[in-house]
Structure 1
Amino acid sequence: MSATRRQVLARTGAVAGIAFTGSLTELFAGTAAAKGMGRAGYGPLVPDPKGLLDLPKGFRYRVLSREGDRMLSGEGEVPSNHDGMAAFGGRRGQVHLVRNHENRTDAEIRVPAVRGLTYDPEGLGGCTALTLDSANRVLGERVAIAGTSTNCAGGPTPWGTWLTCEETEDKAGTNGYTKDHGFIFEVDPTNPHRTGAVPLKAMGRFQHEAVAIDPRNGVVYETEDAFERPFGLFYRFLPVKPRGGLGSLRAGGSLQAMRVPGVPDLSAIQETGAAFDRVEWVDVPDPLAAETPIRFQDFGPKGITHAQKLEGCYWGGSSVYFVSSFARSNEGSAADHYGQIWRYDPARRRLTLVVVFGPDTDVQLPGEEPDNICLAPSGGLMVAEDGEGAQHVFGVTTRGEVYPMARGRQNIGTPEEPAWGEFAGICFSPDYDTMFVNCYTPGTTFAVTGPWHR
């Protein structure tokens, strides 16, 4: 994509040309966001005189935390690479934020190793936890888990914990690690020592991205963002203790991968509304990938279904939704697309392609590579677009109308060739009065307030 074209759009706030095909209303069935908005958006973005975050008129932000600042706990500096995040309600209007740090071996600021919370002393990633009062003032900031690697996304549990996912397959002895990586870890946002740093090994060892839990039976759905062919799989984990609760996932369970008969690659499906009613779930031969990464393993003569860039995942109504950010045939996918959202209905065993993202007629326009997605308070979605050039948070109404919600202004390039860090970790406070969002680089966490319910 042309960065120059994107920079022009960034200056003008234009978002014309984004196309969303499919049934947007399907995404919001059974959710509080299904009420919809009277109009698309909150107006044009207003340039921020501080050069941090452009928002519509009437909205304002508070910087909660920036990489390199000192954490209030005294445990060290705020780590780099702010990524996935979730917000949990607390006492007296407090909010607990849990934030991933996607630190690899070259991270500038590691998550400090804290006794009782560190999995592998050589791992630089992990999570930090912030406690906010009702006015979004930071009351506390501390390490929630350390010694992990490449903590990308994850997902909240119905019992109020965070599942942080390692997006790596590195084993002990690789890159200096002393333990195998590629696991999910459970984090208690209010008291991290209750969960410690215990890998949930039965949930698989692979390049995890995000998870979503069926609140009715505790089944956990997991996406895999593999960087090269064969691409990732979509999984479900059947827990031994389906009723859930803090620590219940440690009891184990069985891991299965999704097979869509006759569809080895989801990118080959291009028409919204396309549905498959015979979805199968196949036991993973070796969930720990002791010798062979799961996506390379033998799933029998029928094979298994892959997809490029499987990222966001959330539960809505009676279904789980997951995102394929893009597919590129020149990288090995069966076909090209600019982003898809799939819906799986467990009761019907039906998989449906419900939304396709992409430019309308001009490939230079934004609208591709959806990444983080969350439900918005006034209806629709908030989508973090992860592409080149200017970085936005876009809103999408239940009618499919697109509007700009935020634009990053922190230039990490040069005046001649500017660049901006992607957005990540979009989530809302329990009362939907505040949107929390991260800028990945430089690591910055914002709290955005304003007339959300207008």
Structure 2
Amino acid sequence: MSETASSSASRRQVLARAGALGVGVAFAGSVSEIFAGTAAAQGLGRRGYGPLVPDPDGLLDLPEGFHYTVLSREGAPLRSGEGNVPSNPDGMGAFRGRHGSVHLVRNHENRHNAKRGVPTVQGLTYDPAAKGGCTAIALDGRDNVLGERVAIAGTAVNCAGGPTPWNTWLTCEENEDRAGTNGYTKDHGFIFEVDPVDPRRTGAVPLTAMGRFQHEAIAVDPRSGIVYETEDAFQKPFGLFYRFLPEKPLGGTGSLRAGGALEAMRVPGLPDLSAVQETGASFGGVEWVPVPDPLAQETPVRLQDFGPKGITHAQKLEGCYWGDRAVYFVSSFARSAEGSAADHFGQVWKYEPHRRRLTLVVVFGPSTDIQLPGESPDNICLAPRGGLMVCEDGNGAQHVYGLTKHGEVYAMARGRQNIGTPDAPEWGEFAGVTFSPDCGTMYVNCYTPGTTFAVRGPFHR
């Protein structure tokens, strides 16, 4: 996820180039459409939770009535005694435990040269030369930390992932290096399953049938067990949107190891999703094409031969989640200068399996107000009272934004940890936003410096 911030111009630089058009940044689309017919559609008012209040401790600005607890900081000792907390916390899931407790599983997007990698632990390490992985935090009902430990180690560039209906976490490697590259001893580019309560139940076993490519996130259809997967390829040829049909759907922990079939989405007549600019644009007859070589033994999957009709690509496919009988996925941005069919500042797409229909439901882009979020939506989750929470992944000030069901944008949090200088301040992006099972706490990571927060307050308002 940090690739976006490091490789892109800041939002204000982008807007300066568009200044002749007199534009700013806004949001278009129908968030309420996502939640039609659900209890969550009883959303927030049009102003969210009010303006952000400066934090006297200089960590996290929140609306009045909200407060945070720092659960974990990179470099601090893990309570398990296995080493220190790794850097670059990214995607994260929250799982219900006994007696109101919560188990967090937190990715660490560490590359081969990371200074503070995930400690290797016997029985939980895939490739000792890789520095990514996950840590798990156990919390009581008041968000007091009960334990913190390694959940999987020896994986590479663990970006996002997603929860399963049987309460495990699927962590995704956004990397496709082969053994021998960057010192790795094994091939990378896989999905791994992590049990948040007892990681040794799942170990460090790659789910090879789910494909080897630059994984980003997943979402599971809770009725069929089909797993949808995004591919975050920011250079052309861009990534694909996949589905995995497991041999043992909804079989519980470890069932995905039984294998299955990997397919890629083809939208007839639409080779690049960025070409679509209007919210509400809809495409029926979506096809799913078998991936010729899911392990990419000779050729990366997105470069393989999908037949004369080709396949549908998109730049920076990232967040992915399930809701209201459909799977939603994010394209963080598209730039024609980098090979996309058209430019945009972010899209959210909806695929309805029962209708085989794909619809563009949210577009971020230049329109009205420079203060509103508009560049590179990344991690997205459902908000407790309707709408979405969005981690904006760009340069400049970093926020968690909310989008109400009415399409109104509000700031939920702002990072205050300056990793630059007083004269040229910089802030680490947010990642991994998620909510406790009772929706009373929002958990979120600051990527740099690695910090995990628990935010409580009147979310019910």
Q: Which residue of 2 aligns with 1:404?
A: 411
Q: Which residue of 1 aligns with 2:347?
A: 340
Shift of 1:3: 5.6
Write the distance in 1 (CA, Å) between the matches of 2:202 and 2:220.
18
Q: 1:32 to 1:79 in 2, by over 3 A?
A: farther
Contact 1:225–1:309 (8 Å) recurs in 2: yes
The code of the aligned residue for 1:58 comes to G
Q: Which residue of 2 aligns with 1:386?
A: 393
- Which residues in structure 2 correspond to 1:431-446 (within 5 Å)? 431-446=438-453
SS in 1 for 2:28: strand
1:223 to 230, 236, 250: 230
Q: Which residue of 2 aligns with 1:172?
A: 179
1:368 to 364, 371, 375: 375
Shift of 1:227: 2.4
Pairing 1:267–2:271 present = no
The code of the aligned residue for 2:194 comes to V
Write the distance in 1 (CA, Å) between the matches of 2:245 and 2:202.
21
- Which residues in structure 2 correspond to 1:52-451 (within 5 Å)? 52-361=59-368, 366-451=373-458
Unpaired runs of at least 5, structure 1:
7-15
Contact 2:399–2:430 (8 Å) recurs in 1: yes
Q: 1:2 to 1:151 in 2, by over 3 A?
A: closer
Contact 2:372–2:409 (8 Å) recurs in 1: no
Shift of 1:363: 6.4
TM normalised by structure 2 equals 0.94
Q: 1:156 to 1:336 in 2, by over 3 A?
A: same
Contact 2:25–2:369 (8 Å) recurs in 1: no
Q: 1:445 to 1:338 in 2, by over 3 A?
A: same
Unpaired runs of at least 5, structure 2:
1-7, 14-22
Write the distance in 2 (CA, Å) between the matches of 1:27 and 1:418.
37
The code of the aligned residue for 2:363 comes to V
Contact 2:27–2:373 (8 Å) recurs in 1: no
Contact 1:223–1:235 (8 Å) recurs in 2: yes
Give the root-mean-square deviation of aligned CA atoms: 1.5
Moved over 6 A (4+): none
- Which residues in structure 2 correspond to 1:34-45 (within 5 Å)? 34-45=41-52
Write the distance in 2 (CA, Å) between the matches of 1:399 and 1:177.
48
Write the distance in 2 (CA, Å) between the matches of 1:150 and 1:175.
13
SS in 1 for 2:129: coil
Q: 1:198 to 1:358 in 2, by over 3 A?
A: same
Shift of 1:33: 2.1
Count, aligned residues: 445
Q: 1:386 to 1:92 in 2, by over 3 A?
A: same
With 115-124 and 103-112 compared, the bigger mean Cα shift is at 103-112
> What is the identity percentage for the equivalent residue pairs of Structure 1 and Structure 2?
77
TM normalised by structure 1 equals 0.96
Write the distance in 2 (CA, Å) between the matches of 1:206 and 1:29.
34
Contact 2:25–2:371 (8 Å) recurs in 1: no
Write the distance in 1 (CA, Å) between the matches of 2:403 and 2:153.
35
Q: 1:5 to 1:295 in 2, by over 3 A?
A: closer
CA deviation map 1:168-201 (0-9, x unaligned):
0100000000000000000000000000000000
Shift of 1:364: 8.0
Write the distance in 2 (CA, Å) between the matches of 1:395 and 1:46.
16
Contact 2:45–2:404 (8 Å) recurs in 1: no
